[in-house]
Amino acid sequence: LSRIFIIWAISSWFRRGPAPQEPNGPGGSPRSPSRNLFPKDTLMDLHVYISEHEHFSDFNLSSALFWEKRDLVYGDWTSGENSDGCYEHFGEVDISQSVQRNGSIYVHVYFTKSGFHPDPRQKSLYRRLATVHTSRMINKYKRRRFQKTKNLLTGETEADPEMIKRAEDFGPVEVISHWHPNLTINMVDDHTPWVRGSVPPPLDQYVKFDALSGDYFPILYFNDYWNLQRDYFPINESVRRLPLRLSFCPLSLWRWQLYAAQSSRSPWGFLGDQLYEQSDDEQDSVKVALLETNPYLLALTIVVSIVHSVFEFLAFKNDIQFWNSRQSLEGLSVRSVFFGVFQSLVVLLYILDNETNFVGGFWGFFLIILIVFNFVAPREQLDREKKLGGIFPSVSFKDKSTYVESSTKVYDDMAFRYLSWILFPLLGCYAVYSLLYLEHKGWYSWVLSMLYGFLLTFGFITMTPQLFINYKLQSVAHLPWRMLTYKALNT
């Protein structure tokens, strides 16, 4: 619980919900506080139905009733097998061909005051204010992406023939229904005098008010936060029965707030799931870390991450200040700067070609713009006398002479010439290996993946020209020491 609190505290700094509605009545007068329709220690009956329909009405269908538990006590924290107020029920759900073929399946949960029934057609046993209901689709639709890759020389592929056929039938992205065998039903033990229209988000979507009395029903919450993505399995025609373990537990208000904040939609959601979508591994990694990491080590990791971010920001800030205040390029490897632009461009194109998430692509684009404007913009000037094509003025560098007329350019050219003797043979060998043994979508993807893999492996060598210049000039006074110091501390 303390671990999920850490995640909630951090994410609260970055998440901001919409403002609540005005808590005023139709005539402009303030609304009066509401009360919970189920007082403390109310005796309740639990009815759980499984159906393929979003709106349930088959109360007389015995096969639809999955779990019935009578004489539960609202706010009881001491009953149950483990004396924690929790109850469990395990069973198997028979599914139809519709569910096997990507159909939906829903759980409908009803709590009634003891002695009442959730079926509105049973007039003598049904009371609207004595019944609280919620439902949810319990299968999950997940995208499975298929990339058509092949060996560009032989045209062969190691992909599963069945996967290739499904890709031809359903396209490169297939939506498949998945199932997780565990689900927890929480009833929040809360009697806060909520005022309608002033419940803060994301809690407002769970607090349901009665239109006539103005009071609110007990808060029901489906808790699947700890259901790891790796434990889901696909529903297909070979699956006829689905295992389901339902748990009922009381939940305190502050713990419910933590879970509700974590399950609320990401602030990047306006970009759409296609652009901002975490992979299953990314979703599981944080939860696995919370479950399996020592709390003290986890706290230390968070502190180190914060310090790392601070140093990264300071290095970023001092790098900008250095280039803006720099009046001479003497002693600096200009080729290394432009090679950094080339590296960032390759990474950006590789991310776009592989349809990785939007944030990674945006960050790569931002780095390119930053390098260009950080280094080029302060040093360029328009020459209106020399025009390109007779229309556009040409661009020249104001401090180009400090680089060309000094020994810096000679040493920079010399360093890259020596470096090319090493890098080009390595690049050629890696290109041949990638072409012979790896699969690609096409020649464009091969070029990008080959360059990307090569730069990841040998990109650090591009720092050697600057070291070579330092050695030849016997000086390091021209370097951005503040930026390098912060980066060294980060390392």
Domain final residue, candidates 266, 292, 326: 266
In a domain, 152, yes or no: yes
Q: Provide the residue range defining the domain that includes 480.
A: 315-490
- For the chain, how many structural domains are there in total? 2
Residue 250 sits in the same domain as residue 355: no
Q: In this predicted structure, what is the pLDDT of residue 367?
A: 67
In a domain, 193, yes or no: yes
- Check whether 188 has a pLDDT greater than 50: yes
In a domain, 39, yes or no: yes
Alpha-carbon separation of residue 87 from 50, 138, 252 (angstroms) = 18, 19, 16
Residue 341 sits in the same domain as residue 248: no
Joined together, the tokens standing for residue 35 give 């009360």
- The rounded mean pLDDT for the chain is 80
The CA-based angle 394-396-397, given to 5 degrees, is 160
Q: What's the rounded Cα separation, in Å, for the pair 12 and 257?
A: 11
CB atoms within 10 A of CB 54: 11
Domain final residue, candidates 266, 281, 304: 266
Residue 94 sits in the same domain as residue 232: yes
Instruction: State pLDDT tens for residues 232-251.
Output: 999 998 999 999 999 999 99
Instruction: State pLDDT tens for residues 418-453.
Output: 888 988 898 999 999 999 988 888 899 999 999 988
**DSSP three-state, residue 464:** helix
In a domain, 349, yes or no: yes
In a domain, 275, yes or no: no
Residue 326 sits in the same domain as residue 467: yes
Sequence-ordered list of residues with C-beta below 8 angstroms from that of 382, at least 6 positions apart, any chain: 393, 394, 395
Q: In this predicted structure, what is the pLDDT of residue 3?
A: 46
Q: What's the rounded Cα separation, in Å, for the pair 66 and 107?
A: 9
In a domain, 276, yes or no: no
Q: What's the rounded Cα separation, in Å, for the pair 186 and 206?
A: 12
Q: In this predicted structure, what is the pLDDT of residue 382?
A: 45
Residue 219 sits in the same domain as residue 335: no
In a domain, 56, yes or no: yes
Domain final residue, candidates 266, 281, 298: 266
Closest CA to 6 of 226, 286, 310: 286
Ramachandran class of 227: left when φ > 0, alpha when ψ lies in -120 to 50, beta otherwise: beta
Residue 363 sits in the same domain as residue 484: yes
Residue 24 sits in the same domain as residue 172: yes
Q: In this predicted structure, what is the pLDDT of residue 248?
A: 97
CB atoms within 10 A of CB 255: 18
Stronger pLDDT, 172 or 400, i.e. the higher one: 172
Task: Tell me the mean pLDDT in the region 400-408.
Answer: 62
Reported residue count of the chain is: 491
Q: In this predicted structure, what is the pLDDT of residue 428?
A: 92
Residue 76 sits in the same domain as residue 212: yes
Q: Which residues are registered as beta bridge partners of 51?
A: 106
Residue 191 sits in the same domain as residue 329: no
pTM for the full model?
0.70
Instruction: State pLDDT tens for residues 304-321.
Output: 888 888 888 888 788 777
In a domain, 462, yes or no: yes
| Confidence class for position 279, pLDDT limits 50, 70, 90 | low
| Confidence class for position 275, pLDDT limits 50, 70, 90 | very low
Closest CA to 408 of 490, 457, 478: 478
Q: In this predicted structure, what is the pLDDT of residue 155?
A: 81
